[in-house]
Amino acid sequence: MPSNLKRNTRSLFLFGLGLPILVEVIAVFAVIVTDSGASAEGFAGILVVIMLIIAIPITIVGNFLILPRQMTDKSSYIFRSMVLPACFIIAIVIYYTGIWDHTIRPHFPKQVEKIQVAGSGPVGEGKFEFIFVVNGYTRTIEEQAEIENYARQTYTRKTWENSKYVTFDVKYYFVPRELYDPLNDSLSKQGAAAVFHHSGTDKSATIEQIER
């Protein structure tokens, strides 16, 4: 009885855990030495290695749970132990070759950001305008708060990027998608749901809402 337990334990560690992990490691190295077709081509190899780091503990726990404690048939035992590695290998091949980015991912619905930059640029000496499109605008208090927060974050980010930004005269127009005209900025600005203005001469300058 103890010898059977010892044999079963050895089988679990050799064929149930060790072999599957070895196969995953070999598969990763075999994949990353080839050219990647993924969108993040420069980082695809790193991402695959990260996937391996995640896959190893999943394989250990998964095989420990799904494999029988007694190995009655070696071939079927090894076959079952390779189910998770096979899924992992298929996943990294689909990702690394670009099948996911170019074939599968485009069929998923894209998440549209609530607020998007539609245009920006100078309109005079030291004067700038930003036009933002607000998707799915429903005129709620929460949306107005989100728009104001977005405007202030944009102002803060711009001052970090350019210290002279605090001295500029800038207006931020937030236009509902249905009122935005990509060919006519004047018409788009007339339909703005909120307009913020910044004009200052020192670092104490702030942004304020002038229209709603």
Pairing of strands 127-134, 169-176: parallel
Among the ranges given (7-16, 22-31, 58-67, 189-198), the one the predictor scored with the smallest mean pLDDT: 7-16
Sheet with 194-199, strands from edge to edge, namely: 115-124, 127-134, 169-176, 194-199, 207-211
Residue 132: its pLDDT value, please? 92
Domain ranges of the chain: 2-107, 115-211
Q: In sequence order, what are the residues at sequence separation of 6 or more whose Cβ sits closer than 8 angstroms to the Cβ of residue 134?
A: 114, 115, 143, 147, 174, 175, 176, 177, 193
Among the ranges given (36-40, 61-65, 81-85, 180-184), the one the predictor scored with the smallest mean pLDDT: 36-40
63-91 pLDDT, tens digit each:
989 888 777 788 888 999 999 999 999 99
Q: In sequence order, what are the residues at sequence separation of 6 or more whose Cβ sits closer than 8 angstroms to the Cβ of residue 147?
A: 115, 134, 174, 193, 194
Residue 3: its pLDDT value, please? 60
Q: In sequence order, what are the residues at sequence separation of 6 or more whose Cβ sits closer than 8 angstroms to the Cβ of residue 100?
A: 38, 94
Q: Using CA atoms, how far apart are residues 118 and 64, in angstroms rounded to an integer?
A: 53
Nearest CA to 129 among 117, 139, 121, 118? 121
Contact call for residues 125 and 108 (beta carbons, < 8 A): no
Q: Using CA atoms, how far apart are residues 52 and 43, in angstroms rounded to an integer?
A: 14
86-133 pLDDT, tens digit each:
999 999 999 999 898 888 887 776 666 888 888 888 888 878 898 999
Nearest CA to 175 among 110, 111, 115? 115
CB atoms within 10 A of CB 154: 20
Please tell me whether the overall predicted TM-score, pTM, comes out greater than 0.85 for this model.
Answer: no
DSSP codes joined into one string, 175-195:
EEGGG--TT-HHHHHHT-SEE
Say which DSSP state 18 is in.
I
